[in-house]
Structure 1
Amino acid sequence: MRNETERTEILLLGFETSTKLRFLLFIIFLSFYVLTITTNMFIIGIIRIDLNLQRKPMYIFLSHFSFLEIWYTTVTLPKMLVDFIEDNHTLSYNGCLTQIYFFFALGLTELSFLAVMSYDRYFAVCHPLRYNAIMTNNLCNKMAICSWCCGFLFSFILVIPSSRLLFCGPNTINHFFCDFIPLLHISCNKTLTTDRLFYTLAWIIILFSFSVTIASYIFIIKTICSVLSRAGRRNAYSTCASHLTVVLTFYITVIFMYIRPSAQYSFSVDKVVSLFYAVVVPLLNPLVYTLRNAEVQEALRKMLVKKIAFF
């Protein structure tokens, strides 16, 4: 018989390195966090200031998406930064469940927004004459609210198994934040049913969103190929390239992490993969959208001209 330990706190191993290297990593990830917050706030500010961007469905979704990325990276990075400079890497069990819930909720919301934004690009490229009539601001706001609600509601289903886990030994997670798979790994009452339930839900949610996105881009590519002029193809590719780049980077890492059996996990490798979709991608999103988007660049140019004229 094994005694079940009291579920009071969880120890996060994080990145076990020397003190000098930990300080260097602290500076690097702090820079990532500051840049992620400022760049996403910059996008939100540009869209709020420019009335032309506010009227376009793509930028309604983009402002929600940038707001989402701010909180998505805030769920994990601040705790990781604190652990770099402190020796106590513990987190209360309730705090661990809270982190898991918001991480999944915001991650699922991001999947929803990626699908919705690909659907928006499908209408913009494949049905340009009907686009403004179909994708009204009212419909876009409803789709954005639905994405938020779906993410936070479905997260409850994924987090419920975490709240029923029991632990019989050291509550030590080989990760830099509380995730369901590492928590399941140290549990003494994990069952095949719990494992299958989580992965079934993950397959359904992730692959459904991914299928909608891929289907949208299949139609987009067909439409682009039917455009005879080279300039038309170039404009269509430019419209979708930014979104497609973000979609591929996010989905590849998420699919790698969450739709394979827990027995195949290598936590040293998975920590690096988790860094990519939890830290790098939220910074990559605003950079991709601003550097490759002519309308955002034009809005920025107008804002700078006004500021210069004012001073």
Structure 2
Amino acid sequence: MKPKVYITRRIPDSIIARIEKECEVSIWPETDIPVPREVLEREIVDADGLFCLLTESVDKELIAKAQKLKVISNMAVGYNNIDIEAAKEKGILVTNTPGVLTETTADLTFALMMASARRIIESSNYLRNGNWKTWSPMQLTGQDIYGATLGIIGMGRIGASLAKRSKGFDMNILYYNRSRKPLLEKEMNMKYVDFDTLLSESDFVCIMTPYTPETKNLITYRELSLMKKTSILINTARGGIVNEEDLFQALKNGEIWAAGMDVFVQEPVPLDHPLLTLPNVVTLPHIGSASVNTRMKMADLAAVNLLLVLNNNPPLHLVV
């Protein structure tokens, strides 16, 4: 008898067909609406495999309902949406999709840096709203990227790829990480510094670290007040790493110059969120890996991990 798999969102047909060759598949049919909790609770009871997204909270209570579950295949690099310890206690393997989204996310991070520094969105709105009357010497002036100092918090795959992009702009690179990367330091001519030094000396501070209990609220008003008045904070990692209320106050008070945000504590971000009222904040709907090719690769890798485990083989990327 084929193993039963539940897929929590409509993914590309080619990926579904691949899983259907080996499994009995049920799918939440929507593409833009997350599966309701009550549906997920019902479907997980007799599922052998769960193919999920970061929008699903696979918590202890949900995992407790699973009677046959062997694998949770998360179509994401991060897995803070899954209770890892609860899965481990029940012998359920958890997999993720690192590597395939590295370059695309680094692209988006650099795009956010440029958009925030050069006031791209603000300038476009200025024109579209009919405010452009003439050329003016200091009109919509921004900050330079070329030759600036880039501080990267978290030197994993994406952080390293961001560093490579910055070399084309002759940027000075500082980084802070749990462990030093001597070979990468030499290759990229970058400097390892302590956390506070990175904040105080960088023109751009880019958050590339995973979301963990240790990194929750890593950036608060204290950290923001250490940054230059002309500096820009970029977050394409996870929303909870930055205290959003403190960021709003720091931007409002002129502690930093601007911010670029692809992630938020609550997603979708409420339209009445204070950060959305500020012209010096570029906000995006969590599109770091959103290229056609990358999302296809992520879905394919999640399917491969799922099928390997269901066939009693080790997955390509095991979290636990």
Does the alignment reach a TM-score above 0.5?
A: no
Between structures 1 and 2, the one with greater strand share: 2
Instruction: Flag the structure with more relative contact order, 1 or 2, with Cα contacts below 8 A and sequence separation at least 6.
Output: 1
Q: TM-score, normalised by structure 1?
A: 0.25
With normalisation by structure 2, the TM-score equals 0.25
Higher helix share: 1
